[in-house]
Chain A
Amino acid sequence: SQTIHQWPATLVQPVGSPLSLECTVEGTSNPNLYWYRQAAGRGLQLLFYSVGIGQISSEVPQNLSASRPQDRQFILSSKKLLLSDSGFYLCAWSTQESYTFGSGTRLTVV
């Protein structure tokens, strides 16, 4: 079966510290992968998407970057976190007829 793993579930980081969130997918190959952020007030903002290894498209210029070192691995990073980076980060993968989200990481920058 197809599953998506995202960790950690919660994270508290000081301003200026680095960030690495990891997402892995099982049971499928060459998925489209996505990183979203959901701030308070419920809208989901697409940050990055990838249609293949090493192929990253950025939707919003910001303090974050993404990488896809393997087919089923998608990493969200920052060199120096800002207070405004706080939020709920969700990884997702898609096939032609479905879209599956990870359980999310709640990041608080203090």
Chain B
Amino acid sequence: GIQVEQSPPDLILQEGANSTLRCNFSDSVNNLQWFHQNPWGQLINLFYIPSGTKQNGRLSATTVATERYSLLYISSSQTTDSGVYFCVPEEGGSYIPTFGRGTSLIVHP
């Protein structure tokens, strides 16, 4: 199956800082999503982005499918951004999304 590598594994920021999270995947995908898991365990879909760039408020994401990576940008971080961010590609022809190990983000006030 597809291999997913996320970096950095852990990130600590001061409120207001910007950051970039990276996801590398090993095979072609027909779907890729970014999720945020808050400290209470709830997983929220941030982006569906098999290719191209999307923006939603302070967050944006870019996937370059031909080079097998995706980036999640967080600008002007807030304490509510804390949690774990998962990159979840879905291998071509499969119904099975594969979770990376995530990036754990802590934003200090």
Contact = CB atoms under 8 A, between A and B. Distances in A.
Given A43-B101, A104-B42, A99 B88 contact: yes
Interface stretch (B21-29, B56-64, B65-73, B91-99): B91-99
A92 B86 CA distance: 15
Interface in A26-72: 32, 36, 38, 42-44, 46, 49, 51, 59
Nearest to A92: B43
* Category for how many chain A residues contact B: 20 to 34
Contacts, number: 47
Interface string A68-80: 0000000000000
Interface of A: 32, 36, 38, 42-44, 46, 49, 51, 59, 88, 90, 92, 94, 96-101, 103-104, 106
